[in-house]
Amino acid sequence: MDTQRIVALVIFLMSSFLLWQAWEKQQIPPAPGKAPTTSATPAPTQAGKLADSAALPAPNAPAVAQTPVVPRGQRIHVQTDTLIAEIDTAGGDLRQLAFTHHFAVEDKSRPFVLMQDQGEPFYVTRSGLVGDGLPNHNTVYSAAQTDYKLEAGQDSIAVRLESVQGAVKVAKVFTFHRTGYVIDESFEITNVGSVPLSAFAYFQFLRDNAGSGSNLMGVNTFTGPVIYTAKDKFVKVSFSDIDKGKENYPKKATDGWLGIVQHYFVAAWLPEGNVEREFFINNKAGDKLYSAGIILPTGSIEPGKTASLTVPLYAGPQEVDVLAKLAPGLELVTDYGWLTIIAAPLFKLLAFIHKWVGNWGVAIILLTVLIKAVFFPLQSKAGRSMARMKVLGPKMQKLKEQYGDDRTKLNQAMMELYKKEKINPLGGCLPIVVQIPVFIALYWVLLASVELRSAPFALWITDLSAKDPFYVLPIVYAATMFVQMKLQPPSPDPMQQKVMMAMPIVFTAMFLFFPAGLVLYWIVNNVLTIAQQWYINRQIEAETAAKGNARR
């Protein structure tokens, strides 16, 4: 097999793999999620040891009634410089959470909604206490006011909800901060009775599987629960594994956090300190509804005393630098695929360039140039091999005419020609194969980085994570691919020639739906490859001409 065939095969397989990933992500609709209707309401029980399954506030506890998953009460509206939130007094939980600096894909004038109890995905938080007479996620709280807004000069605002049940007075407090996506959720528990009180607090997410997409070929960006502990590290739990009862995750630890990730965004409970905690994940809350949460002890509370427990909730974009400072391993929620070891440094380099140029599109261009420069020696070797093959084109065509359809004799003659001209037909393959992991890693960086979401480049490209609205970049890509193919040695096989000529058309049709940032990367890569190959071709032609003159 000659170099042209091998190179074409390698490029085709690599490109097809990348193209299928993006096509599958962009075109396959999300798996339908059914609107939740009913759920078993857990009955409070005496929580003994943390490992006691009866202490779980999730649907492992005996059902006492069939009630709506999230009963509706009075809504409390909260707005900061980064968040728009709604808390319901029925349960005292977050029922809606939107971002002021990130916008909906279908309408850039509307904030992006991460959590909501109406529509898809159904996605809310639930929290409460486990123990006799203690408030849980069905308890109705009282609130002093229903509207909160972070004013100029304020660093934070606190939303306080209260409930009195028997000998226990409980306040649930949400503290929102300026310039960030961390919400501190606290329980203040006052024992107004005459005997000591012991309880556990649970903090959980309730979500359906809408938006989880397809797992075809295992390349779709992951959506679902995740857990991190120092012992087990980063563990993903897919919705499909939960449905099959095959979920595998650490149940107890003295450190770690739990969250739910989706493309670009994450919400995670981040308990502080080395306190024993229990994790739970299940699908018993309702049809296509999944629970994922953490249980923490509040400790023993003596009569007349108050105990408090605070767990930070991060709900926001997957900004790697921010996440790495909040909790160990939290930055791992950014899904760079199976080449994270290469992709993570590439993103750091891309972010470093962006700090200097202030434009993610320009940063992509410069990063592509740097990568090309690093691989220049390898690419030069591959390019020289292809250029020399191109010079041999006329001689190879004569061999084909001479041997006709006798493939065995034709291949033997071609190998003799390679030996005579001192050309290794595999010489251009290894350099290309070595670069494939880097190109795939960069592809994932551009696909997974929330920083590129809604990031403008220039002119009509106002969102590098969305497709080109006028399809200019895909057309430019097609032109560069066509020129690049013309610089390569033609295949002696007519069928291969037809396949290669069809590739620009097929790839362009798929690129029409690709994020502009990805198309920009491939255009720059192609342009640089064209320039390099043109220069090498001229060198080889000049060397060949010089050898011919010397023989005369």
Residue 492 pLDDT: 55
Residue 447: the pLDDT is: 82
Tokens of 282: 């299940």
Asked if 20 and 58 sit in the same domain, the reply is no
Q: Which residue has the higher pLDDT, 365 or 446?
A: 365
What DSSP state is assigned to residue 221? P
Distance CA 328, CA 483 (A): 48
Same structural domain for residues 20 and 121? Answer: no
* Confidence at residue 148, expressed as pLDDT on a 0 to 100 scale: 97
Query: pLDDT category, 215, cuts 50, 70, 90?
Result: very low
pLDDT at 59 (0 to 100) = 36
One domain, residues 18 and 161: no
Q: Is residue 42 part of a domain?
A: no
Residue 466 and residue 393 share a domain: yes
Span 412-441, average pLDDT: 69
Residue 253 domain flag: yes
- Are the C-beta atoms of 517 and 350 separated by less than 8 Å? no
CA distance 538 to 346: 33
What pLDDT is attached to residue 375? 79
Mean predicted lDDT score pLDDT of the chain: 80
Are residues 349 and 322 both part of a single domain?
Answer: no
Residue 531 included in any domain: yes
Contact between 477 and 517 (Cβ < 8 Å): no
Q: In this structure, is residue 32 part of a structural domain? A: no
357/220 same-domain check: no
Mean pLDDT along residues 161-188:
94
Query: Tens digit of pLDDT for each residue in 313-365?
Result: 999 999 999 999 999 999 999 988 788 889 999 999 999 999 999 999 999 99
Binned at pLDDT 50, 70 and 90, residue 25 comes out as: very low
Do 453 and 311 sit in the same domain of this protein?
A: no
Q: 304, 335, 366 — which closes off a domain?
A: 335
- Name which residue leads in pLDDT, 69 or 250: 250
The tens digit of pLDDT for each residue in 504-527 reads: 777 788 788 888 888 898 899 889
**What is the predicted pLDDT for the residue at 39?**
34
Residues 250 and 392 in one domain: no
Same domain membership, residue 17 and residue 153: no
pLDDT at 445 over 90: no
Provide the residue range defining the domain that includes 435. 3-24+343-551
CA Rg value for the chain: 30
Angle at 99 between CA 119 and CA 359, to 5 degrees: 125
| pLDDT attached to residue 549 | 61
Domain count, the chain: 2
Domain end position, chosen among 309, 335, 361: 335
Per-residue CA distances from 305 to 155, 168, 184 (Å):
30, 11, 22
The percent of residues in the chain predicted with pLDDT above 90, rounded, is 43
Domain termination site, one of 313, 335, 357: 335
Answer whether the bond into residue 437 is a cis peptide, omega within 30°. Answer: no
pLDDT value at residue 373: 87
Confidence class for position 43, pLDDT limits 50, 70, 90: very low
User: Which of these ranges, 229-233, 399-403, 478-482, has the smallest mean pLDDT?
Assistant: 399-403
pLDDT, one tens digit per residue, over 262-273 is: 989 999 999 998
Which distant-in-sequence residues (6+ apart) come within 8 Å of 336 by Cβ?
343, 344, 347, 441, 444, 445, 448
Rounded to the nearest angstrom, the gap between the alpha carbon of residue 292 and the centroid of all alpha carbons in its chain is 19
Question: The domain spanning residue 97 has which CATH number?
Answer: 2.70.98.90
What is the phi/psi pair of residue 24, to 5°? -60, -40
Same domain, 11 and 103: no
User: Per-residue pLDDT averaged across 80-100, rounded?
Assistant: 96
On whether residue 43 sits in a domain, the answer given is no
Residue 41 lies in a domain: no
**Token pair 């491939």 is at which residue?**
522
47 located within any domain: no
Residue 256 is predicted with a pLDDT of: 96
Exposure string of 315-346, with b = 16+ CB inside 10 Å and e = fewer, is bbbbbbebbeebbebbbbbbbbbebbebbbeb
| Per-residue DSSP letter, 34 | P
Tell me if 287 sits within 8 A of 295, measured CB to CB. Answer: no
- Same domain, yes or no: 436 and 353: yes
Shared-domain flag, residues 423 and 331: no
292 or 287: which carries more pLDDT confidence? 292
CA distance 196 to 150: 38
Asked if the structure places residue 36 within a domain, the reply is: no
pLDDT single digits (tens) 241-263: 999 999 999 999 999 999 999 98
**pLDDT of 423:** 66
